[in-house]
Amino acid sequence: MNDNKTLKSTWAAGFAVASVWFGTHVGGGFASGNQVVQYFSSYGPLSIIFPILAMGLLAVVMYIMVKFAKLSGFTNYKDTYAALYPKPWMEIFFEIFYIVIVVAAMASAVAGAGEVLANFIHIPYVGVTKVIMNLIIVAILILLTIFGVKLVVAASTVLSVAIIVITALMVVFGLTADFSSISAKLTAEYGVELVPYTDSVGESIWRGILVYAAFQCVSIPPMIAASNDLSLKGVKKAHLLGWLMNGLALAASAWMLVKWYPLLAALQNGGVEGYTTALGIPNQTVLALIGVKWLLVAFSVLLFCAFMSTCVTLVYTMIQRFEGKFFPKSIKSEKVRGIFVGAIIIAICFAISLLGLTEIVKFAYGYDGYYALLVIVIPAFVWGIPKIKKLQAQKKVEQ
């Protein structure tokens, strides 16, 4: 473990680490609005507070795990979870969660990019068109994975900042737009009625707080690694700031989409031409309804790039993770093994992507969230807290 004298405990250092969590969370899936609608906005105004609670729960779970890692001298999630569980081999439980959520994230990014592209050029994202759009995305993904990984990594920070700024502007425009006039005009024109919110408090709490927080445990590995230079006080500050940054941004997006959900759902359920997938990329649809063309173009381009960046980064990460295990004795070349692993991963992601962004977010993220509650969230409290107390007693760490 690092010398305590070199460890950082300032708010600035905490903010830098909190930004890692924020960057992991606020990607294409968040910016599209699809996750926000499914887990929050479709349940009505009450759901606006759920992002704060969900991110609070996640902050506590991550704080427990990062603190445990710091006290144990670990800098990666594999060692941390091998020590957390009663048996080291049980670390495979986290690995399963992590691989499933990463593959789902890649597939949803392919589907999301394909849908953004189809919406932008005004082509219905259904049937053969869906296959063609996703194949185009896969072709671009292969080229970028082979030739453009360094470019994507270099541009990721700028891209993240840009998508955050544009998304913030979109939330402002969405909240201030004249919803009553727009909805009255469209419902009368197409003969549809505004769709009511899902009236189920229990379901909204379960999905909007517990399940959402659970599948966002995907942020634990980067937070453990990023917190290496922080002191325990710095770790606490990082998670407090991360809670506020992620919770407030998510709540603002949910607030805006709560306003527009009844109309978006009405247009989609009514099969209105041009809006048959209105809830697929709801933020893009809202901008189209408002009619702010420059913001719609900027948002569509940045969201497309964000999805592609997510795809390339995660495919490259999975290649690094599994390349060494792919016939290392019979295939000596690392590049050849990498190509085979990449091809398999991309093929799997393409197949899953045909389900569509909405179905992937609903089922893959949802069921992995259920699993994460059992193997990540609960163990953090059951085994993590007692082990932290024991380590603190042994090391006599000052709080």
Q: What is the DSSP letter of 3?
A: -
pLDDT tens profile 83-128? 999 999 999 999 999 999 989 988 998 999 999 999 888 888 988 9
Name the H helices within 191-333. 201-205, 212-215, 220-226, 232-269, 282-290, 293-322
Of 217, 218, 28, the closest CA to residue 109 belongs to: 28
Write out the chain's pLDDT in tens, 399 residues: 454 446 788 999 999 899 888 878 877 678 899 999 999 999 999 999 999 999 999 999 999 999 999 999 998 999 999 999 999 999 999 999 999 998 998 899 899 999 999 988 888 898 899 999 999 999 988 888 777 667 776 777 777 788 888 989 999 999 999 999 999 999 999 999 999 999 999 999 999 999 999 999 999 999 999 898 899 999 999 999 999 999 999 999 999 999 999 999 999 999 998 898 899 999 999 999 999 999 999 999 988 888 888 888 788 778 777 777 766 667 767 777 777 888 888 899 999 999 999 999 999 999 999 999 999 999 999 999 999 999 998 877 544
Contact 50, 254 (CB under 8 A): yes
Exposure b/e, 11-34, CB count within 10 A at least 16 = b: eebbebbbbbbbbbbbbbbbbbbb
Torsional sign, CA 278, 287, 208, 80: positive
Would you say the pTM of this structure is higher than 0.85?
yes
With both helix axes pointing from N to C terminus, report the angle between 232-269 and 50-72 in degrees, rounded to the nearest 10: 150
d(CA 201, CA 386) in angstroms, rounded, equals: 33
Residue 98 carries which side chain, given as an amino acid letter? Answer: Y
